[in-house]
Amino acid sequence: MTAATTGLDQLLEQGVAGKRVLVRSDLNVPLDGSVITDDGRIRASVPTIRRLADADARVVVTAHLGRPKGAPEERYSLAPVAARLGELLGTDVAFARDTVGESAHETVAQLEDGQVALLENVRFNAGETSKDDGERAGFARQLADLADVFVSDGFGVVHRKQASVYDVAQILPSAMGTLVSTEIDVLRRLTEEPQRPYVVVLGGSKVSDKLGVIDNLLGKADKLLIGGGMVFTFLKAQGHEVGKSLLEEDQLETCRSYLARAEELGVQILLPGDIVVDTAFPSGDRTPEPRVVPATEIPADCLGLDIGPAAGADFAAALSDARTVFWNGPMGVFEVPQFADGTRAVAEALTRTEGLSVVGGGDSAAAVRTLGFDEGAFGHISTGGGASLEYLEGKALPGIDVLEG
């Protein structure tokens, strides 16, 4: 059983020419049919793959797409990703039609030094996500048969105890890829003596998705800015009516406890003072009819879909002197222009932050790209929303522990 602590630089110094290197990347991109609508994760995977190929390794990339149930589903094929990866690398990427079967073995056998292949969706195999340790390990051994060395570079899955993330690293000599090591370094800067003022911005739909982060960061952050759908549970907890807005009744007492704890700790929780509402969620051919109301006066027939302009200005002001910022979750339904201004205001404020600004993956990263921001204007854009949140909650990440153990 091998649990190596090698970094990519060390691995390259040892030499990988002619070796088959299995790289676990995160290529889980959104598709519209077979069209990739956001290639951010593919672009993030390129540096590690390119460094290995330039060192004459025979690079075998494995990844997942979507949530197939352990069997092939055409809509989750990685074929479109192989084509885009090849474009970004500037070279052909061979595509295996299965993960550990005949096509995979033939494809890998035909690789020459410096060439790259992508295996079909690893989740087309039940062993990848199995809760049975033996079944998962058995599939990991099949993956390991295709390689001499393993490189973990899929940060978006390191919080999962899965065959291609965890078990393979116990079989093959292993190394942490550039993307994963960068992500972990950034997250450590957020949790271990961050520069102050330290501001955390949380949005998205549900308070329940962020409970662990709020609980853990209340003792670390100086300010906590709350937007998105989760704000309405906080407003309700303060005794305000929220109309038809998203509401988690079972989290009201939790929100009250967070507000009280923040006051005791001297942490400022900033809720929006105004909200953009409409009488229906945007869908179909209906033209949105947004209007701005005080957050404490949401009409009974309306639902909140974005923080208002005054709130956007307040949030930007609260971020103006920050030396460390972590942002996870949009402020509203940013995909619809009429409800994107709050998210845009936060993103713009982060581009002006002089310290470390971290966009915590998932919808926040998608919003940055959708709204046309230069990704280089942010300190770091994470590729893994779930993994980032679990790290900030203080949870162990199996895919990291197996490399560092």
Number of domains in the chain: 2
Task: Look at residue 76 and tell me if it is in a domain.
Answer: yes
Q: Is the same domain home to 199 and 81?
A: no
Task: Look at residue 1 and tell me if it is in a domain.
Answer: no
Binding-site annotation, residues for ATP: 210, 304, 335, 361-364
Residues identified as active-site: 41, 206, 362, 386
Which of 103-107, 216-220, 336-340 shows the lowest mean pLDDT across its residues? 216-220
Over range 80-97, report the average pLDDT.
Answer: 98
Q: pLDDT of 161-177, one tens digit each?
A: 999 999 999 999 999 99
Over range 132-146, report the average pLDDT.
Answer: 98
Q: Is the same domain home to 153 and 246?
A: no
Domain coverage including residue 241: 186-393
Over range 386-393, report the average pLDDT.
Answer: 88
Residue type, 286: R
Binding-site annotation, residues for (2R)-3-phosphoglycerate: 41, 123, 160
Q: Is the same domain home to 74 and 112?
A: yes
Task: Look at residue 73 and tell me if it is in a domain.
Answer: yes
Q: Of the candidates 123, 155, 177, which is a domain's last residue?
A: 177
Q: Is the same domain home to 20 and 147?
A: yes
Whether 5 shows a pLDDT value over 60: the answer reads no
Binding-site annotation, residues: 26-28, 41, 64-67, 123, 160, 210, 304, 335, 361-364
* Confidence (pLDDT) at 324: 96
* Confidence (pLDDT) at 279: 96
Which of 108-112, 273-277, 369-373 shows the lowest mean pLDDT across its residues? 369-373
Over range 350-362, report the average pLDDT.
Answer: 90
Q: Is the same domain home to 169 and 221?
A: no
Q: Is the same domain home to 173 and 231?
A: no
Q: Is the same domain home to 245 and 304?
A: yes
Q: Pick the residue with more confidence: 6 or 64?
A: 64
Q: Is the same domain home to 155 and 244?
A: no
Q: Is the same domain home to 253 and 200?
A: yes
Strand arrangement, sheet containing 149-152: 6-7, 174-176, 149-152, 20-24, 58-62, 116-118, 93-95
Binding-site annotation, residues for substrate: 26-28, 41, 64-67, 123, 160
* HSE toward the beta carbon, residue 237, CA cutoff 13 A: 21
Q: Is the same domain home to 301 and 339?
A: yes
Over range 266-282, report the average pLDDT.
Answer: 96
Q: Of the candidates 143, 177, 211, which is a domain's last residue?
A: 177
Q: pLDDT of 99-130, one tens digit each?
A: 999 999 999 999 999 999 999 999 999 999 99
Secondary structure tally for the chain: helices H, strands E: 15, 18
* Confidence (pLDDT) at 363: 85
Predicted structure pTM score: 0.88
CA distance 28 to 40: 10
Q: Of the candidates 177, 197, 213, which is a domain's last residue?
A: 177
Q: Is the same domain home to 145 and 217?
A: no
Whether 2 shows a pLDDT value over 60: the answer reads no
Over range 73-83, report the average pLDDT.
Answer: 97
CA distance 373 to 364: 12
Over range 295-312, report the average pLDDT.
Answer: 98
Write down the residue that tokens 């479109």 correspond to.
80
Task: Look at residue 3 and tell me if it is in a domain.
Answer: no
Task: Look at residue 404 and tell me if it is in a domain.
Answer: no
Q: Pick the residue with more confidence: 116 or 191?
A: 116
Q: Helix, strand or coil for residue 149?
A: strand
Task: Look at residue 331 and tell me if it is in a domain.
Answer: yes
Residue type, 265: L
Task: Look at residue 195 and tell me if it is in a domain.
Answer: yes
CATH number at 382 reads: 3.40.50.1260
Mean pLDDT of the chain: 94
Q: Is the same domain home to 368 and 259?
A: yes
- Give 211's pLDDT tier (boundaries 50, 70, 90): confident
- Give 380's pLDDT tier (boundaries 50, 70, 90): very high
Task: Look at residue 252 and tell me if it is in a domain.
Answer: yes
Structure tokens at 74: 């055409």
Nearest to 338 by CA among 283, 261, 395: 283
* Confidence (pLDDT) at 284: 84
